[in-house]
Chains A and B, each alone.
Chain A
Amino acid sequence: MLPSDDATDSRTIDAVGTRILSVEDDERIRTAVKLALEDEGWTVDEAGTGEEALARFEQAPTDVVLIDIMLPDIDGFEVCRAIRRSSDVPIVMVTARDDTHDVVAGLEAGADDYLTKPFAPKELSARIRALLRRVRTQDSGSPHLRFGDLEIVPAEGVVRRAGQDVHLTKTEFKLLVELASSPGRIFSREFLLDKVWGYDYFGDGRLVDVHVRRLRTKVEADPANPHHVVTVRGLGYKLQT
């Protein structure tokens, strides 16, 4: 929940010069969150509506997007999908209700993580840092990994299926590389939440499930009958040829 032990390091590395686009229609919340995030060292751009958010995203380079689901014009899901069409920038959804429907819909729209109001800005910072963390190339071992028709180049951030480049978000890529670090080994949801999202034991397993589903639509020939990213009932997921 709280920043991991290298928090002070990553704070100086990540936060300075990192631009967060905060999309929230409630002005007071927007201001308070901006103040708190700036306290942590981030640079914060603001948008009060979906339209404004998309316009700002076009204009200025953005490293992380924070989207409230309840927006007056275009809802948060739609903003999320619109951004995803052109960018793999990390997106954090903010919901006022933590029911499964909203959470899963947000993740399926392309969000990388979610938070429920009222969250502590310190926790948001920890989530953002985890999303921005680069893939640790030493985890993957060899520079080229092959799983049948699937080819992964961790150092370059490239994934090919049947010779074609596959476009993954940063989080999807991290998840795939984590699974590929030990082919055939079963990874529990808890373990993946820790490695990919930086959560402790209390992360939400739905994050893993929805991301695996998204990953399959991109790396599997037939996502309904996955050959590479396989569910091991009762235990977790594994990657195989």
Chain B
Amino acid sequence: MTARQAVGASGSLTSSATGDEPMAAAALPAGAGDDRSGARRRRRLHLPHLGLRARITLAFTLSAALLSTLLAGTTWALTRESVLRQREAAATHQAYINAQFMKGQLSGGVNEPDQLLAQLSSLDTGQGSRSLLQVSGQQPVNEVASFGIDALPAPFRRLVDGNTPARMRIKVDGEPQLVIGIPLPSVNSAYYEFISLDETQSTLESLSVSLFGAALVTTLAGAALGLWASRRTLRPLADVGVAAEAIAGGRLDTRLRQIDDPDLHVLVASFNHMASNLEERIERDGRFASDVSHELRSPLMTISASIEVLASRRDDMPDASARSAVDLLVADIGRFKQLVEDLLEISRFDAGAARLELSEVRLDELVTQAVGWSSERSVPVDLDPALSGVVVRADKRRLVRVIANLIDNAQKYGGGATGVELRKVSDGVRIAVEDQGPGVPATERDLIFDRFARGVGAHRRSGTEGVGLGLSLVAEHVSLHKGRVWVEDRPDGAEGARFVVELPVAWA
């Protein structure tokens, strides 16, 4: 049960990782053609469909952004309020002192505007502050011309005129100012002070820049953390993927390393359990095929030896039907033996037990000998002079079988081989066998190398000669040599097929 769960989990992972992209790519051109809105809808559905790693990273990033913005915003609001409050308190305190002083001056008889202006200028106001004194019924005495009494909003002035001290933040010519109005009823005047908040403002601005920067850095750190965490979290899954791929590629002994993590322990254990079951089963299947073939060899030995005895007495047999029965036995025992040999060979490939027996092989000699050993020894052989006497390391038995099987195939289905060719190519050698049959249609050119595929038009190939293992063994032998085999049309345009085998050789 747990094994099945593990399969399901990894299965859905691979399908989301690999299955989606080609689907989306395929959907686009189709949608562009007839159903634009459908394509757009599908695209909208696909865009947010992110991978697990992307989703984890995104979640980390968004959380970091949200948290850092919240923190920065709160910090800014609190700091701003506190800074402004302090500034206001200090300014108000100073303004009262200044107002008291001016009140003293006025009650002391100083009332000429020039004198008052001189007094105002002597006041201890902070950097960037200006004072203004409004004596009722007179022009206000103003330290700086640009800050007239008109700059004050009417309600504020009304408040001060009504003998209520007031404080307000305003903007004069775009500059933030704190204005404090203190009524001086005993001398029938009002004292105003404008305090520039420029400096405070720039302090706050630089603070907000710092906070924004900090938030940005935190967000980026969150993204990086998310990326790291997702990688780390998904590493076991990635390992599972790699291992599954290795197993699919035939390395059946692949296992995951045991890990202590209790969350992942089940996955690893289930995966390994599944892998061992699979390996065991495939081995059992391979052993079964091999055992069966070996068991077949014993009776086959008895039968073939007995048939030989019968065959040697064939001509002494008085009965014509007994003679034809012997002929039939002799004819088919060979096919039967070949079939058992081919099945054994295939079971070795299936069990992964097929190994190359490498030896030094003279290629031209090998091709000539293989043709001489095949069912059609008189096929013309065209040898590349560049390969004359050239020795390569190869499995002689397998290569001979490849050539002989291709010639047999040509004889059975291609009206007989018309030529065998050995050519040197840049990165190896090419062996080609041509026949004069109907050729192989393009749609069947891959299938023809499958087991028991008698290929094109079963009726045409319904002859009793073939069992359909020859070409699949050719493909197996060639791929064991890391080579390629394919079938194509004859280059001379004549009717017939051309089977080509290319084997890699590192020419020094």
Query: B-contacting residues of A (Cβ < 8 Å)?
Result: 26, 28-29, 31-33, 35-36, 39, 96-97, 99-100, 117-122, 189-190, 200-202, 205-206, 234-235
| Shortest CB distance A214–B (Å) | 19
B18 at the interface (CB under 8 A from A): no
Q: Which of B294, B309, B400 is within 8 Å of A32, CB to CB?
A: B309
B360 touches A235 (CB 8 A): yes
For B365, list chain A residues within 8 Å (CB).
190, 201
Q: Which of A29, A39, A97, A190 is within 8 Å of B312, CB to CB?
A: A39
B312 touches A28 (CB 8 A): no
B359 touches A205 (CB 8 A): yes
For A33, list chain B residues within 8 Å (CB).
301, 305
- How many contacting A-B pairs (Cβ < 8 A)? 71
A118 touches B297 (CB 8 A): yes
B369 touches A201 (CB 8 A): yes
B369 touches A118 (CB 8 A): no
For B300, list chain A residues within 8 Å (CB).
117-118
**Can you give 7 A-B contacts (C-beta < 8 A)?**
A33-B301, A96-B297, A99-B353, A118-B297, A121-B308, A202-B397, A234-B391
CA distance A202 to B395 in the complex (A): 12
Per CB-CB distance, the 7 closest pairs between chain A and chain B, nearest first, are A32-B305, A118-B301, A201-B369, A118-B300, A36-B305, A117-B297, A32-B302
Known A32-B305, A39-B308: A202·B373 in contact at CB below 8 Å: yes
Q: Taking each of B357, B360, B365, B369, which has the highest tally of chain A beta carbons within 10 Å of its own beta carbon?
A: B360
For A36, list chain B residues within 8 Å (CB).
305-306, 308-309
For B359, list chain A residues within 8 Å (CB).
189, 205
B357 touches A29 (CB 8 A): no
B360 touches A32 (CB 8 A): no
CA distance A109 to B303 in the complex (A): 29
For B360, list chain A residues within 8 Å (CB).
234-235
B306 touches A32 (CB 8 A): yes
CA distance A198 to B65 in the complex (A): 86
CA distance A238 to B119 in the complex (A): 127
CA distance A173 to B300 in the complex (A): 35
Q: What is the chain A residue whose CB lies nearest that of B357?
A: A100
For A96, list chain B residues within 8 Å (CB).
294, 297-298
Known A35-B306, A205-B359: A26·B391 in contact at CB below 8 Å: no
| Shortest CB distance A97–B (Å) | 6
B369 touches A117 (CB 8 A): no
Q: What is the chain B residue whose CB lies nearest that of A232?
A: B360
B304 at the interface (CB under 8 A from A): yes
Known A120-B304, A202-B373: A35·B297 in contact at CB below 8 Å: no
For B308, list chain A residues within 8 Å (CB).
36, 39, 120-122
For B400, list chain A residues within 8 Å (CB).
202
For B301, list chain A residues within 8 Å (CB).
26, 29, 32-33, 117-119
| Shortest CB distance B289–A (Å) | 13
CA distance A118 to B338 in the complex (A): 10
CA distance A119 to B308 in the complex (A): 11
B305 touches A121 (CB 8 A): yes
For A121, list chain B residues within 8 Å (CB).
305, 308
B369 touches A35 (CB 8 A): no
CA distance A117 to B295 in the complex (A): 11
| Shortest CB distance A144–B (Å) | 34
For B373, list chain A residues within 8 Å (CB).
201-202
CA distance A206 to B391 in the complex (A): 18
| Shortest CB distance A210–B (Å) | 13
Interface 1/0 per residue, B368-407 and A, CB below 8 Å: 0100010000000000000000010000110010000000
B337 at the interface (CB under 8 A from A): yes
B305 touches A97 (CB 8 A): no
Q: Which of B294, B298, B396, B397 is within 8 Å of A29, CB to CB?
A: B298
CA distance A206 to B355 in the complex (A): 15
B304 touches A26 (CB 8 A): no
For A202, list chain B residues within 8 Å (CB).
369, 373, 397, 400
| Shortest CB distance A182–B (Å) | 20
CA distance A96 to B300 in the complex (A): 11
For B309, list chain A residues within 8 Å (CB).
32, 35-36, 39
For A31, list chain B residues within 8 Å (CB).
302
For A35, list chain B residues within 8 Å (CB).
305-306, 309
A117 touches B298 (CB 8 A): yes
B302 touches A29 (CB 8 A): yes
CA distance A32 to B353 in the complex (A): 32
For A99, list chain B residues within 8 Å (CB).
353
| Shortest CB distance A228–B (Å) | 22
17 extra interface residue pairs, beta carbon distance < 8 Å, beyond A32-B305, A119-B301: A26-B298, A26-B301, A29-B302, A29-B305, A35-B305, A36-B306, A39-B309, A39-B312, A117-B297, A117-B300, A118-B337, A120-B304, A121-B305, A200-B369, A202-B369, A202-B400, A205-B396
Interface 1/0 per residue, B395-423 and A, CB below 8 Å: 01100100000000000000000000000
CA distance A240 to B360 in the complex (A): 22
For A189, list chain B residues within 8 Å (CB).
359
CA distance A96 to B478 in the complex (A): 26
A118 touches B304 (CB 8 A): yes
| Shortest CB distance A122–B (Å) | 7
For A201, list chain B residues within 8 Å (CB).
365, 369, 373
For B306, list chain A residues within 8 Å (CB).
32, 35-36
| Shortest CB distance A119–B (Å) | 7
Interface 1/0 per residue, B104-134 and A, CB below 8 Å: 0000000000000000000000000000000
Q: What is the chain B residue whose CB lies nearest that of A206?
A: B357
| Shortest CB distance B404–A (Å) | 10
